[in-house]
Amino acid sequence: MKDFIRIRGISKTFGDFIAVNKVDLDIGKGELFSILGGSGCGKTTLLRMLAGFEVPTAGSIEIDGIDVTHMAPYDRPVNMMFQSYAIFPHMNVAKNIGYGLRKEGVAKAEIARRVDAMLELVQLVDFKTRKPDQLSGGQRQRVALARALIKRPKVLLLDEPLAALDKKLREHTQFELMNIQDELGITFVVVTHDQEEAMTLSSRIVVMDKGEFQQVGTPKEIYEFPANRFVADFIGTINTFEGIVTAADDETTSVYSDEAGETLIARGKQLFEVGQQVEIAVRPEKIFIDKERSTREGDICLEGVVDDLDILAIARCIGFALPQEK
Ligand code: ATP
């Protein structure tokens, strides 16, 4: 994959507070890349530096081979879609979408043609003449997206694009966003604090904490091979067992855990030394409970006593029947 955005040694300090601390990052052309982290970790500051709204304290940013570190936002080949969609309440959908082109003085017929193409893309053809207050949250979000895309930026920056939508609509819109990105091939950089959203949407993710990168990788890499405890905890849930390494090679590490009363085996690229004190982490979906001891090869069995039952978890396991709709 060709590097399209190259970030080198970027830092941003506010007074003596370090919001982003010397980070390096390469993003490929056409990627849907997410910056993921908790509140205040520096993700919006990083996005704002890409957009040109914040000047880095140190480091450089290159987009498509051009150093944009000190370039004004309007000179960069990027567009940003803000957390609050900032669409004009007095303009109808078509006018909102065509706003940027009108400001640039593009010919009327060309604007009409490109607005129609955008309406088609975001599936709002029938809503063309509606005002924003006559739209649902998801439809408003799509107007904002169309308005940001109509100028054909090389990079679209999206700050929590789905935060204002309820859970169901958010899930639906995630897929729309992915389809649109796929269709246009524009590089998307998305800021989100929602782990599930990042895992669903992204080609790759960076997990940030306290202004630093904890891990950069595909959703699968980050979930299956978290670089450290922070990432393992932040993405999904883990159960941990303390133990001592009894054997290790390039692919697996065996850990005897007193707590588990068994030797547990972990896959992983990291090499530990025999005798080292470690923690082994197991994702909940890799654990099955049965009254009988499993005889399947490779299974590791631990004995235990059921302590508590979560009714929601039971419902998820056994499912439930619904009456058929007439
Ligand atoms: P959230 O999800 O809450 O929006 P974030 O990861 O996007 O968080 P940033 O907005 O990047 O966080 O802020 C990172 C840190 O920098 C925060 O502690 C914030 O208070 C601080 N910060 C951001 N902008 C400024 C500013 N202009 N002056 C001083 N401190 C700032």
pLDDT in tens, the chain (326 residues): 567 999 999 999 999 999 999 999 999 999 999 999 999 999 999 999 999 999 999 999 999 999 999 999 989 999 988 765 678 999 999 999 999 999 999 999 999 999 999 998 888 999 999 999 999 888 888 898 889 889 888 999 999 888 777 787 778 778 888 888 888 889 999 999 999 899 999 999 999 999 999 999 999 999 988 888 899 999 988 889 999 999 988 888 999 999 889 999 988 766 788 999 999 888 888 888 888 998 998 889 998 888 888 776 666 656 566 777 66
Residues 202, 250, single domain; the answer is: no
Query: Does some domain include residue 324?
Result: no
Count other C-beta atoms under 10 Å from residue 18's C-beta. 16
Residue 211 and residue 144 share a domain? yes
Torsion of CA 205, 206, 208, 212, to 10 degrees: 180
Are 244 and 215 part of one and the same domain? no
Range of the domain at 74: 3-224
Closest-CA residue, ligand 1 atom 31, reads: 14
Residue of 43, 46, 209 to test ligand 1 pocket, by largest number of atoms within 8 Å of CB: 43
Closest ligand 1 atom, CA of 41?
6
In a domain, 49, yes or no: yes
Rounded Cα–Cα distance for residues 133 and 93 (Å) = 10
pLDDT computed for residue 180 by the predictor: 84
What are the two backbone dihedrals, phi and then psi, of residue 107, each rounded to the nearest 5 degrees?
-60, 145
Q: Do residues 189 and 273 both lie within one domain?
A: no
With respect to residue 124, please indicate whether it lies within any of the assigned structural domains. yes
The answer on 20 and 57 residing in a single domain is yes
Domain membership of residue 322 (yes or no) is: no
Q: Is residue 76 part of a domain?
A: yes
What is the DSSP track for 63-118? ETTEE-TT--GGGSSEEEE-SS----TTS-HHHHHHHHHHHTT--HHHHHHHHHHH
Separation of alpha carbons 164 and 146, rounded Å = 17
Q: What is the pTM of this model?
A: 0.85
Question: Is there a domain that residue 120 lies in?
Answer: yes
> What's residue 174's pLDDT?
83
Whether 210 and 244 share a structural domain: no
First vs last Cα of the chain: how many Å apart?
51
Same-domain check for residues 97 and 155? yes
User: Do residue 133 and residue 272 come from a single domain?
Assistant: no
- From 20, 36, 44, 49, give the residue whose CB has the most ligand 1 atoms within 8 Å, as the site to mutate: 44
Q: Is the CB of 207 under 6 A from ligand 1?
A: no
193 and 265 belong to one structural domain: no
Q: Per the domain annotation, does 295 fall within a domain? A: no
Residues 144 and 190 occupy one common structural domain: yes
| AA identity, residue 259 | E
Q: Do 278 and 142 share a structural domain? A: no
Number of domains in the chain: 2
Same domain membership, residue 182 and residue 246: no
CATH number of the domain bearing residue 30: 3.40.50.300
- Shortest-distance atom of ligand 1 to CA 37: 6
Tell me if 316 is assigned to some domain: no
* CB-based contacts of 281-288 (< 8 A; 24+ apart in sequence): 281/226, 281/232, 281/238, 281/239, 281/240, 282/238, 282/239, 282/240, 282/241, 283/223, 283/236, 283/237, 283/238, 283/239, 284/237, 284/238, 284/239, 287/239
Looking at ligand 1, which residue's alpha carbon is closest to its atom 14? 42
Q: In what order do the strands lie in the sheet with 58-63?
A: 17-28, 3-14, 58-63, 66-67
Give me ligand 1 centre to Cα 18, in Å: 10
Q: Whose CA is nearest to atom 10 of ligand 1?
A: 44
Kindly give the distance from the C-alpha atom of residue 137 to the centroid of ligand 1, in angstroms, as a whole number.
26
CB of 39 shorter than 6 A to ligand 1: yes
